[in-house]
Structure 1
Amino acid sequence: MADTDVIVVGAGPTGLTLAGELRLGGARVTVVERLAEPTGQSRGLGFTARAMEAFDQRGLLPRFGTPETSPVGHFGGVRFDYTVLPGAHFGARGIPQSRTEAVLEEWAVELGAVVHRGWEFTGLEAGDSAVEITVRTPEGPGRLRAAYLVGADGGHSRVREAAGIAFPGTPAARVMYLADVVGRKLRPRPLGERLEHGMVMAAPLTDGVDRIIVCPDGAPPREDAEPVTFAEVADAWRRLTGEDIADADTEWVSSFTDATRQAVTYRAGRVLLAGDAAHIHLPAGGQGMSTGILDAVNLGWKLAAEVTGR
């Protein structure tokens, strides 16, 4: 007998949105997340217009307060004015991913989803009528059985690997840096500024904290797996802007690339993929997180209908 209808591995924006969507459709869902606690990191700052529409349809927007919207955007450097579209959502920015995840987890749990944190997915056995996973928990090893399993566990998805789904694509050709800088008054560049040797962006995140992004032209991907340091970010910022921020404090430092990959299939029997587990691309502008959220919106009602027979 199944412990639940659907197991979701990963409690990021994709997995938590999917959990809520499944519950709206009447399916039982259990989320398994390796991390014992949310990271609290800002990561993706906001979401696209379509993701904002989906949240509005589910009554979630008020939980985010009054987000800063983005009525002006660009594509390939050509700027757009979205205010000419009547009643349109413009997308939201300045909302840390940690806040988005907190809102989505609260919503999913209110609807009846079960979220197990500190449970690490270690393997799966899929049959014709069910799928069973093994997990490592604080209490020891365990097993869970369900009708379906969804891997929403990121670009390095263990679910995808265990299901034997290939993930071909184009390797990274360049690296870009970002940091949340504390206590420095930086000139706002919310849509980015093109300079001689690259592009930079700076925008307020919270009081006294600015998010900066540095995209040096021709900067090759880093060869080592060590986390990027703020010294590297500050050096790239100085080379592009001439501004010295090396002595600033930071709340978070990271890097990202333009690597592009897509799973050869999003489904293998009773195992499905969503979000970065299914596809990765340049995540700038909240596109990575928003695409995962919309994967979940698309998949949730269909999978719920399948398991409930509705």
Structure 2
Amino acid sequence: MLYDVVIAGAGPVGLFLSCELAQAGCSVRVLEQAESAESPLKRLPLGLRGLNAPTLEALDRRGLLDAVAAAQVLKPDKGTPPPGTAHWLAQPRPLGGHFAGIPFALDNVDSGRWNWRVPTPVGTQMAIELQALEAVLTERALGLGVHIDRGCAVQAVQVEEAQVAVQTTTHGTVHGRWLVGCDGARSTVRKQSGFSFEGTDPEFTGHSLLIELEDPSMLTPGRQYTAHGMCNFNPPGVLALADFDGGAGHRTALDLPSAQALLRRVSGRNATITALHLATTWTDAARQASAYRNGRVLLAGDAAHMHSPLGGQGLNLGIGDAMNLGWKLAAVVRGDAGEALLDSYQAER
């Protein structure tokens, strides 16, 4: 079968884009390398994500906001967030989150100075589990007839005159008139399709850990800057460590002894870890694709731009990519517009 659009990646960006295309009448197939939609890294506490105003407005316009709001981490007037969710959510002042690690309090924001924001019924921010957001988008996509293949990674891409042939690990070759890479910062689609990815190398490795401590009082809650980096402790056992090692520790698996050595070095405290439940890494590397379109192949989300995850920048920018690209690509597929319309996607994003 020849699909109108094949999407690599069933994260929030790929799923949202599939919904945009399907509701416009396009046939869509999504290829996702992970076998399961569930992951401990997508659930609390490490799976916490913040949605900003443009993302909330996009979800509202598509009738998805109520379902997403039902799954938000901290509902208005519904008490405190789960333990260890995020230090800034448990503060006595109403905090609106942070941008690139710089926190801000809502009672110190003068919204009357937002002269250019169109009146809208939605708020300015919301905290949610990544897995909950993906579940809402998956349900909508399936309801619109999107075909989602999990455990199906992209291996190779061959662009032909009127279509793109995508070789996969489990489903042979899948054909689409267009291909969109929403497959993350290490995007196979981007690498296979002639895009360059330019930017700056990392200065630090970020470690997110779910642990048990022999004595949690050894660490000070909140963000502490030290001679070797930064330690952000959310009691009783959630840690974010920034190790200024030039990114050398990225994607290096930590066992308990190495995690304890890292914690002691970065924090400067003689804390003892008794159990290591979960660990992942990230960096402040910043890169952007030289172009968002190369013929019949387009990029969106982290495949097009990567940077520090602080502040939820990647998720929210990616949803914006999908919102911008979806109706344009659908119009081209239907023949309502020429391919030149797609050039505005890169210019606007």
Shorter-chain TM-score bucket reads 0.7 to 0.9
* 1:261 pairs with 2:287: yes
* Partner residue of 1:283 out of 309, 312, 319: 309
Larger displacement relative to structure 2 (265-274 or 18-27) = 18-27
- Corresponding position of 1:21: 20
- Corresponding position of 2:131: 98
* 1:176 pairs with 2:206: yes
- Aligned length in residues: 297
Following superposition, the deviation at residue 235 of structure 1 comes to 3.4
Amino acid at match of 1:168: E
Following superposition, the deviation at residue 201 of structure 1 comes to 2.6
* Partner residue of 2:179 out of 135, 145, 149: 149
Following superposition, the deviation at residue 230 of structure 1 comes to 4.7
Following superposition, the deviation at residue 210 of structure 1 comes to 5.1
Following superposition, the deviation at residue 248 of structure 1 comes to 3.2
* 1:89 pairs with 2:127: no
Structure 1: which 5+ residue stretches go unaligned? none
Distance 1:237 1:196 in 2: 11
Measured against aligned partners, the alpha-carbon deviations of 1:151-193 in whole angstroms (never above 9, x if no partner) come to: 111111111111111112111121111113368868895xx52
Following superposition, the deviation at residue 109 of structure 1 comes to 0.8
* Partner residue of 2:226 out of 193, 196, 219: 196
- Corresponding position of 1:215: 242
* Partner residue of 2:49 out of 46, 49, 52: 46
> CA 1:28–1:224 in 2, change beyond 3 Å: closer, same or farther?
closer
Following superposition, the deviation at residue 213 of structure 1 comes to 0.9
Following superposition, the deviation at residue 47 of structure 1 comes to 2.7
- Corresponding position of 2:65: 61
- Corresponding position of 1:79: 104
Following superposition, the deviation at residue 292 of structure 1 comes to 1.7
Q: Is the 8 A contact 1:34 1:121 kept in 2?
A: yes
- Corresponding position of 2:86: none
* 1:227 pairs with 2:253: yes
Is the partner of 2:322 in helix, strand or coil? helix
Q: Is the 8 A contact 2:98 2:311 kept in 1?
A: no
Q: Is the 8 A contact 1:153 1:159 kept in 2?
A: yes
> CA 1:212–1:62 in 2, change beyond 3 Å: closer, same or farther?
farther
Is the partner of 1:168 in helix, strand or coil? strand
User: Considering only aligned residues, what root-mean-square deviation do their CA atoms show, in Å?
Assistant: 2.9
Amino acid at match of 1:201: N
Q: State the identity as a percent.
A: 33
Is the partner of 2:145 in helix, strand or coil? coil
Following superposition, the deviation at residue 242 of structure 1 comes to 2.5
- Corresponding position of 1:242: 269
The residue correspondences of 1:97-116 to structure 2 (distance < 5 A) are: 97-116=130-149
Q: Is the 8 A contact 1:16 1:105 kept in 2?
A: yes
> CA 1:25–1:179 in 2, change beyond 3 Å: closer, same or farther?
same
Tell me which stretches of 4 or more aligned residues in structure 1 moved more than 6 Å: 183-188
> CA 1:263–1:227 in 2, change beyond 3 Å: closer, same or farther?
same
Q: Is the 8 A contact 1:45 1:286 kept in 2?
A: no
Following superposition, the deviation at residue 44 of structure 1 comes to 4.4
> CA 1:104–1:299 in 2, change beyond 3 Å: closer, same or farther?
same
Amino acid at match of 2:51: T
Q: Is the 8 A contact 1:229 1:253 kept in 2?
A: no
Structure 2: which 5+ residue stretches go unaligned? 76-88, 90-94, 113-120, 337-349
Distance 2:220 2:321 in 1: 33
Q: TM-score, length-normalised on structure 2?
A: 0.75
Following superposition, the deviation at residue 29 of structure 1 comes to 0.6
Q: Is the 8 A contact 2:212 2:275 kept in 1?
A: yes
Distance 1:173 1:210 in 2: 26
* 1:164 pairs with 2:184: no
Following superposition, the deviation at residue 111 of structure 1 comes to 1.6
Q: Is the 8 A contact 1:10 1:152 kept in 2?
A: yes
> CA 1:19–1:224 in 2, change beyond 3 Å: closer, same or farther?
closer
